[in-house]
Amino acid sequence: MHPLAIIVAVRRRFPVQAVAITALALAIVGIGVSAQATRPMQRVAVNGAELEYEVSGSGEPVLLIHGTGVATTFYPTMTEAALSGYRLIRYHRRGWAGSSRTTPPFLISDHAADAAALLKALGVQKAHIVGHSFGASTALQLALDNPALVHDIIIIEPPVFNPDGPSPFAAMDAQYRSGDKAGALNAFSTGSYGADWRTLSARVPGGPAQVERDVDTMFLTESPSMAVWRFQAAEGARITQPILYLTSGTRHGNSRNTLQPIITQMEQQVLPGVTHAMLMENPKVVADAIAAFIKKHPLTQ
């Protein structure tokens, strides 16, 4: 159980000792985050930049691509039992955490090129690809641009917009340009992960502080590239790999209705009791779903 859940349960049982329990709570959470933050990452040169990455385990390679904002969302997944028989590779996309900064414009196709370069640098000829949100769009683009590297794909609620229409981020972009970076960041993060996004992101290394440091990436390259990314019938027809769409069943999963008619082999799975922040809320249920799908599509086939 996560330390915050333990704290809530204890407080309910012993309300009189609330002050002492609150102090204990801070200590427990602090220890947890400190322990997480000590796990080292490596660096690799790709396409004129450097990416932070972490590899855990051995077996068939699985690349984990994070979304916009919290760079360490896949961190808890790395130690889930269901995925223990795989070589898990997670990294921080360019512009996030300790990876090199982005220079606008930096498109989803550029992120896909970085992902391909990372796999090649690690000697991976073909991998299972998992992406969350923006990272799911990157996974789809990777399959279009480097299909030989992609064995199968698990996408978790990718944003798919009309590239010829107005930007869905226009109001937040304007708020950012006005100088209210904190307000724009809070609006974006609340829309993505909910009003408690700070509490949720505190469960992983870096937490809210990392999101705040990387606010320029969010608005100078990420939101513009999401708004203009084109993935329509012509692109969908080129995806031939097995593919699973994982969703919380909330509004963030609406893109499955757009993708299903154009990627006819796409399977769908609704994970109960979670939101778009599922990787931080319940990494076990996500890892179990990933493992079940890739087990059906082994690289040795």
Residue 301 within a domain: no
Host H or E run for residue 64: strand 60-65
Mean predicted lDDT score pLDDT of the chain? 90
User: CB of 11 within 8 A of CB of 21?
Assistant: yes
Host H or E run for residue 56: strand 49-56
Nearest to 202 by CA among 97, 280, 284, 92: 280
**CA–CA distances in Å: residue 149 to residues 27, 111, 116, 126, 144:** 44, 15, 7, 4, 10
Name residue 127's beta-bridge partners. Answer: 150
The predicted model scores a pTM of 0.89
In whole angstroms, how large is the CA radius of gyration of the chain? 19
Condensed to tens digits (0 to 9), the pLDDT of residues 89-106 reads 999 999 999 999 999 999
Residue 211 within a domain: yes
Structural domain that includes position 71: 41-296
Condensed to tens digits (0 to 9), the pLDDT of residues 166-198 reads 999 999 999 999 999 999 999 999 999 999 999
Do residues 137 and 113 both lie within one domain?
A: yes
Condensed to tens digits (0 to 9), the pLDDT of residues 69-96 reads 999 999 999 999 999 999 999 999 999 9
Strands 127-132 and 267-270: unpaired
Do residues 178 and 274 both lie within one domain?
A: yes
Question: What CATH code is carried by the domain that includes residue 75?
Answer: 3.40.50.1820
Condensed to tens digits (0 to 9), the pLDDT of residues 200-220 reads 999 999 999 999 999 999 999
The count of domains in the chain is 2
Do residues 45 and 190 both lie within one domain?
A: yes
Question: pLDDT higher for 137 or 26?
Answer: 137
CA distance 286 to 235: 27
Do residues 31 and 48 both lie within one domain?
A: no
* Alpha carbon 101 to chain centroid, angstroms: 18
Do residues 79 and 117 both lie within one domain?
A: yes
Condensed to tens digits (0 to 9), the pLDDT of residues 129-167 reads 999 999 999 999 999 999 999 999 999 999 999 999 999
Q: Model confidence at 301, in pLDDT bands (50, 70, 90)?
A: low
Q: Which amino acid appears at position 104 of this protein? A: P
